[in-house]
Amino acid sequence: MMKRFALTAALVATGSVALAATDGMNPSVGGAAMYPEKTIAENASAAPNLTTLVAAVTAAGLAETLMGEGPYTVFAPTNDAFGMIDEASLNKLMMEENRAQLQEILTCHVVGAEAFSSDILGMINDDGGMHVVPTVGGCMLDAYMEDGELKLKDQNGRVATVTTADVDQSNGVVHVIDRVMLPSGQAG
């Protein structure tokens, strides 16, 4: 089983990121305990700061997928991240007739493999400072480090910061982010 790591918030003088072992302890999300024996969908449902994401996943018909075997890496936007989207636009997106668009947006936050922060950092370093992350929704996210923080940039130039890394799940890993990533050409 892979040893779990969490990113610290500081760069060392050499420009590499310090990693600290979490000793098998899973970070909490929104104050809620996260259990590595539960699925991504089960754990997300317990997090008070992921209620909009859970509602969107349910409206999009993706809850069963995120309860499946995986492995997945999910970049999970918080309620505050969804709050950056105009309320009328968000409500419209959650309507049944816009299910395909909602699925496209949500799957731009999912990678069809398990990648902990140490794995992502390794890929960033191997690629000279930025690694392209292809999602199951067809989005290409640029992963990079800035000021000791793991960042993602979508194809529209929107940047998200990983605020909680390495939340281990039975079917993958979740990294909580502070911005919703959008498919190319979509604004929000």
| Reported confidence tier of residue 14, pLDDT bands at 50, 70, 90 | very low
Beta 72-77 vs 149-153: how paired, if at all? unpaired
Q: What is the mean pLDDT of residues 39-57?
A: 96
C-alpha to C-alpha distances, 3 to 17, 23, 76, 166, 175, nearest whole angstrom: 17, 8, 22, 11, 16
Q: DSSP letter for 29, please.
A: B
Query: CB-based contacts of 45: which residues, under 8 Å, 6+ apart?
Result: 54
Whether 162 and 175 have beta carbons less than 8 Å apart is answered as: yes
Q: What is the mean pLDDT of residues 68-75?
A: 95
| Reported confidence tier of residue 170, pLDDT bands at 50, 70, 90 | very high
pLDDT at residue 24 in the model = 61
Q: Where are the domains of the chain?
A: 27-177
Length of the chain (residues): 188
Instruction: Look at residue 66 and tell me whether its pLDDT is greater than 50.
Output: yes
Is 2.30.180.10 the CATH classification of the domain at 27-177?
A: yes
Q: Using one digit for the tens of pLDDT, what is the confidence trace for 22-41?
A: 446 899 999 999 999 999 99
pLDDT at residue 187 in the model = 59
Q: What is the mean pLDDT of residues 74-83?
A: 97
Instruction: Look at residue 11 and tell me whether its pLDDT is greater than 90.
Output: no
